[in-house]
Amino acid sequence: MSLWTPDGEHRVEREDPSAEDDVSAEFVSGEDPLAGMSPAEREQAIAMAQEMDEVRRQLASVPAAVVVANHAMGLYELAAIHLSSQPPAFSEAQVAIDGMSAIIDALEGRLGENEPTLKDALSQLKMAYVQLKGAAEATGATAEG
């Protein structure tokens, strides 16, 4: 499996696949949360729980700074989508830009090697926002404030 970061994709090593049996053991103890399901539904629910457990294990093995940076880049992409719509959705873009800014400001110095990339991306977004907003106001094409 791989995890995308602003610096590219990074391989995430899987843990011992035999550990997936731990999820099934959870269903054996206590009250059966799958009572009333057909055998096929139970099998599907257990498989989904095992998948979620594997994702949790993988996520726990990745530094939090990498995961946070990945989410911040998601906000970058969201702002870019709203800025590129016709007409641009400035208020929606501003929410995403402010969210990204809040993350970067609150975690300054703790985002690791991705921090300069995040700061640069945020600066680009802010510049694009100001330029597009100014152009829209000059032509009277703003649909929102």
- Phi/psi region, residue 13 (left: phi>0; alpha: psi -120 to 50; beta: rest), is beta
Q: What is the pLDDT of residues 40-71, one digit of tens each?
A: 988 998 999 999 999 899 889 999 999 999 99
Indicate the average pLDDT of the chain: 85
Whose CA is closest to 80, among 119, 126, 115? Answer: 126
Structure pTM? 0.65
Look at residues 48, 55, 63 and name the one whose alpha carbon lies nearest to residue 14. Answer: 55
Bridge partner list, 4: 9
The reported pLDDT for the residue numbered 91 is 97
Which residue has tokens 């610096």?
7
- Tens-digit pLDDT profile for residues 81-127: 999 999 999 999 999 999 999 999 999 999 999 999 999 999 999 99
Alpha-carbon distance of 90 to 99, in angstroms, equals 14
For 45-77, give the DSSP string.
Answer: HHHHHHHHHHHHHHHHTS-HHHHHHHHHHHHHH
- pLDDT value for 20: 47
Q: Is the pLDDT of residue 136 over 70?
A: yes
